[in-house]
């Protein structure tokens, strides 16, 4: 026995040492590191494949754009191009690039490089480029001069903010292989370049010395992915993080009042929606590879009944803790002017009785009295997908499926992370789920996503789509083409209003709420946080993320933080208590042995 006690004591001592040392060994390195917490991992660093907000932030930091978006009002501002002019037709624009532009590996950025991205992305219909470049042809007339010609009148020009990729890297990759490219090359012309990505844990980016605005004041930015939003908030409070994106609404009020932390409710037109899979055979898919929606969802009356069964006020209040506003149509831009006013008869008011009436009239009745309506003799059961990467997804599901039950529609659940849900949506293997969009400045990209040609039909790449409803409305497409070439802003706005009203009536999307980006940052580490757009927008994960190149470290703050030394003290205290307990135990044991003898 006596041989075990010292062993245990030694073990405790070693542990304590490890703890204490671990706590103090956080060597105060000299690098200025910005650490950002978020709950969504990258889906892919490959700009032709990724579609998540997290990936867009990566590209905002790594890839330059020909024109930039002004930090305050998102208007067109100089980027790689320092100036531009157009001919009389307004269809031919000539851009002059800055002098001495370079990629982080030293390769010069010429007009030829920019033309390469524009032309190739148009030819290959790259996911995140195509809606902007579909009508454009680019040509480099010399090292610094780029001529862009549009085949139609294009209201978006001269703004041209697609991500420019390094030609010398991408020309090695065949069109057929580009979707599989891992894109970890780290060749950057933005403020940072990607150095490391540990899936599910973090990705790390280092400052790019040849950034055209000049090297930024931060040496490194680390994005840490949290599976538990509470842990993320705790990490922000303790100083492990400098900023956090997607702060849970439950924790937001406490951060608003916390000292040394600034909480930001960032509006940039983002919204949450319920999608109903409405794919009715157009455009044609290879049926052996794709899945089909529940047939009742192809009946407009059923979708309308569902739209009537959703109480958006309650969702905002209960799910979003009041941080948001009930939704109507999709919001295609941070500017609310693009959204139409819906008349009363156009609006699907929350009314369960009316919803039930619509379904009764449509002939979906519950004949066997089990509370679920039937279609062709079988209970109507919808496949509802839950997103594991959003803490709102389950509460939304709880309410929505509760109301669906009230109108006699049953549901089954499956859970997916965002990367997987894209594939599931692309295959059409769902009936309903809730997700969100964050629009760009010009309404065009958001509007283009709902076109017929954005429906997933490519069986070799199920993530190659935007229109997750599967609903094809040719008249909507016609209106899209019209606004796409309408140079009169008022007329264009009118067309957009008509499109959005049409899309609302189709009820394949039930917009639940506008949802602000809830963020928070520590005020003791960096100064120069920029909200985009000014005053109302978020500080990170915005359209062009200007904060990163504006931030300056505060002189007084070292990189280490107070929690560490406390941890060392705690470790020593715990170990000490353990040792004391052991000693006490030995003493007591001795005494009891003596008593016995």
Q: Which is nearer to other proteins, 70 or 236 (CB)?
A: 236
Contact 55, 43 (CB under 8 A): yes
Question: C-beta of 448: minimal distance to other proteins in Å?
Answer: 29
Over 235-297, what HEC string results? HHHHCCCCEEECCCCCCHHHHHHCCCEEEEEECCCCEEEEEECCCCCCCCCCCCCCCCCCHHH
Q: Give SS3 for 408.
A: coil
Q: Which is nearer to other proteins, 361 or 398 (CB)?
A: 398
Choice from 107, 388, 485, 557 touching other proteins (CB under 8 A): 388
Binding of other proteins by 13 (CB under 8 A): no
Residues forming beta bridges with residue 360, ordered by sequence position = none
Binding of other proteins by 591 (CB under 8 A): no
Binding of other proteins by 597 (CB under 8 A): yes
Contact 387, 416 (CB under 8 A): yes
Q: Which is nearer to other proteins, 140 or 570 (CB)?
A: 570
User: 468: closest CA among 513, 508, 440, 500?
Assistant: 508
Choice from 142, 151, 175, 199 touching other proteins (CB under 8 A): 199
Report 138-197 residues binding other proteins (CB under 8 A).
none
Binding of other proteins by 90 (CB under 8 A): no
Q: Which is nearer to other proteins, 98 or 405 (CB)?
A: 405
Binding of other proteins by 291 (CB under 8 A): yes
* Range 448-451, long-range pairs (CB < 8 A, 24+ positions): 448/131, 448/480, 449/131, 450/330, 450/476, 450/503, 450/509, 451/476, 451/477, 451/480
Question: C-beta of 515: minimal distance to other proteins in Å?
Answer: 16
Report 202-241 residues binding other proteins (CB under 8 A).
202, 204, 220, 222, 224, 226-235, 237-238, 240
Neighbour-count burial of 204, counting CB atoms closer than 10 A to its CB (0-12 exposed, 13-18 middle, 19+ buried):
middle
Element (H, E) at 110: none
Q: Which is nearer to other proteins, 1 or 555 (CB)?
A: 1
Q: Which is nearer to other proteins, 286 or 361 (CB)?
A: 286
Residues forming beta bridges with residue 93, ordered by sequence position = 86, 148
Contact 169, 139 (CB under 8 A): no
Q: Which is nearer to other proteins, 2 or 177 (CB)?
A: 2
Question: C-beta of 95: minimal distance to other proteins in Å?
Answer: 38
Alpha-carbon span 545 to 528, nearest angstrom: 12
The size of the interface with other proteins (CB under 8 A), counted in residues, is 85
Asked whether the CA dihedral 288, 290, 295, 299 is positive or negative, the reply is negative
Binding of other proteins by 200 (CB under 8 A): yes
Contact 274, 513 (CB under 8 A): no
Choice from 85, 141, 347, 566 touching other proteins (CB under 8 A): 566
Retrieve residue 421's tokens.
Answer: 């849900």
Placement of tokens 């680390």 in the chain: 222
Binding of other proteins by 92 (CB under 8 A): no
Alpha-carbon span 100 to 116, nearest angstrom: 19
Choice from 102, 173, 399, 498 touching other proteins (CB under 8 A): 399
Binding of other proteins by 15 (CB under 8 A): yes
Contact 13, 579 (CB under 8 A): yes
Binding of other proteins by 33 (CB under 8 A): yes
Q: Which stretch binds other proteins (CB under 8 A): 3-11, 117-125, 154-162, 503-511?
A: 3-11
Q: Which is nearer to other proteins, 98 or 318 (CB)?
A: 318
Report 246-265 residues binding other proteins (CB under 8 A).
248, 250-251, 254
Alpha-carbon span 312 to 449, nearest angstrom: 24
Query: Does a cis peptide bond (omega within 30 degrees of 0) precede residue 68?
Result: no
Contact 218, 553 (CB under 8 A): yes
Q: Which is nearer to other proteins, 122 or 294 (CB)?
A: 294
Q: Which stretch binds other proteins (CB under 8 A): 97-105, 109-117, 162-170, 412-420?
A: 412-420
Report 37-66 residues binding other proteins (CB under 8 A).
none
Q: Which is nearer to other proteins, 18 or 534 (CB)?
A: 18
Question: C-beta of 435: minimal distance to other proteins in Å?
Answer: 16
Question: C-beta of 257: minimal distance to other proteins in Å?
Answer: 14
Choice from 169, 300, 452, 567 touching other proteins (CB under 8 A): 567
Q: Which is nearer to other proteins, 418 or 486 (CB)?
A: 418
Report 318-337 residues binding other proteins (CB under 8 A).
318-319, 321
Question: C-beta of 428: minimal distance to other proteins in Å?
Answer: 10
Choice from 159, 327, 419, 533 touching other proteins (CB under 8 A): 419
Question: C-beta of 193: minimal distance to other proteins in Å?
Answer: 16
Alpha-carbon span 357 to 52, nearest angstrom: 39
Q: Which is nearer to other proteins, 38 or 441 (CB)?
A: 38
Q: Which stretch binds other proteins (CB under 8 A): 21-29, 48-56, 330-338, 462-470?
A: 21-29
Residues forming beta bridges with residue 244, ordered by sequence position = 37, 520
Retrieve residue 195's tokens.
Answer: 């150095």
Choice from 147, 300, 323, 429 touching other proteins (CB under 8 A): 429
Alpha-carbon span 366 to 355, nearest angstrom: 14
Q: Which is nearer to other proteins, 340 or 563 (CB)?
A: 563
Strands 202-207 and 432-437: unpaired
Q: Which is nearer to other proteins, 81 or 275 (CB)?
A: 275
Report 463-492 residues binding other proteins (CB under 8 A).
none
Choice from 140, 178, 258, 292 touching other proteins (CB under 8 A): 292
Number of Cβ within a 10 Å radius of residue 417: 15
Asked whether the CA dihedral 224, 228, 233, 237 is positive or negative, the reply is negative
Binding of other proteins by 273 (CB under 8 A): no
């Amino acid at each position: 026995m006596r041989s075990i006690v010292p062993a245990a004591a030694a073990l405790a001592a070693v542990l304590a040492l490890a703890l204490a040392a671990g706590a103090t060994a956080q060597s105060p390195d000299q690098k200025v590191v910005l650490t950002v917490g978020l709950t969504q991992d990258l889906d892919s660093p490959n700009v032709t494949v990724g579609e998540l907000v997290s990936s867009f932030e990566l590209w905002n930091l790594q890839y330059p754009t020909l024109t930039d978006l002004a930090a305050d009002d998102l208007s067109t501002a100089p980027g790689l191009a320092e100036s531009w002019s157009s001919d009389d037709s307004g269809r031919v624009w000539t851009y002059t690039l800055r002098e001495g532009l370079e990629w982080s590996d030293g390769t010069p950025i010429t007009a030829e490089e920019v033309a390469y991205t524009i032309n190739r992305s148009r030819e290959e219909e790259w996911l995140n480029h195509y809606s902007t470049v579909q009508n454009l042809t680019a040509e480099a007339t010399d090292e610094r001069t780029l001529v862009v010609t549009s085949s139609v009148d294009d209201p978006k020009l001269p703004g041209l903010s697609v991500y420019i990729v390094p030609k010398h890297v991408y020309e090695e990759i065949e069109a057929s292989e580009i979707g599989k490219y891992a894109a970890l090359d780290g060749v950057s012309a933005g403020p940072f370049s990607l150095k490391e990505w540990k899936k599910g844990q973090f990705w790390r980016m280092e400052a790019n010395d040849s950034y055209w605005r000049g090297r930024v004041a931060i040496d490194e930015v680390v994005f840490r992915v949290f599976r538990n939003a509470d842990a993320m908030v705790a990490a922000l409070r303790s100083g492990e993080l400098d900023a956090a994106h997607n702060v849970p609404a439950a924790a937001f009020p406490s951060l608003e009042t916390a000292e040394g932390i600034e909480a930001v409710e960032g509006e940039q037109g983002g919204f949450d929606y319920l999608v109903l899979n409405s794919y009715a055979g157009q455009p044609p898919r290879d049926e052996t590879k794709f899945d089909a929606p529940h047939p009742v969802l192809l009946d407009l009356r059923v979708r309308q009944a569902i739209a009537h069964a959703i109480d958006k006020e309650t969702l905002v209040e209960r799910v979003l803790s009041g941080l948001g506003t009930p939704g109507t149509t999709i919001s295609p831009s941070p500017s609310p002017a693009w959204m139409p006013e819906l008349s009363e008869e156009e609006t699907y008011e929350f009314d369960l009785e009316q919803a039930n009436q619509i379904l009764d009239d449509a002939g979906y009745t519950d004949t066997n009295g089990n509370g679920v309506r039937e279609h062709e003799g079988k209970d109507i059961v919808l496949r509802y997908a839950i997103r594991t990467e959003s803490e709102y997804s389950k509460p939304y599901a709880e309410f929505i499926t509760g109301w669906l039950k009230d109108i006699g529609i049953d549901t089954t659940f499956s859970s997916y992370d965002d990367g997987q849900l894209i594939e599931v949506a692309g295959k059409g293997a769902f009936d309903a789920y809730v997700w969100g969009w964050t629009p760009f400045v010009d309404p065009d990209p958001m509007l283009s996503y709902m076109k017929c040609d954005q429906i997933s039909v490519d069986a070799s790449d199920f993530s190659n789509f935007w229109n997750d409803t599967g609903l094809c409305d040719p008249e909507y497409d016609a209106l899209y083409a019209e606004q796409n070439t309408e140079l009169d802003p008022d007329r264009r706005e009118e067309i957009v209003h008509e499109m959005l009203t049409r899309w609302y009536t189709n009820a394949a999307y039930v917009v639940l709420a506008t949802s602000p980006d809830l963020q928070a940052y520590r005020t003791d580490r960096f100064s120069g946080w920029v909200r985009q757009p000014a005053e109302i927008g978020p500080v990170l994960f915005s359209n062009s993320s200007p904060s990163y190149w504006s931030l300056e470290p505060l002189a007084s703050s070292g990189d280490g933080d107070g929690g560490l030394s406390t941890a060392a003290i705690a470790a020593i205290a715990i170990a000490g208590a353990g040792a004391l307990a052991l000693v006490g135990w030995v003493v007591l044991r001795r005494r009891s042995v003596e008593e016995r003898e």
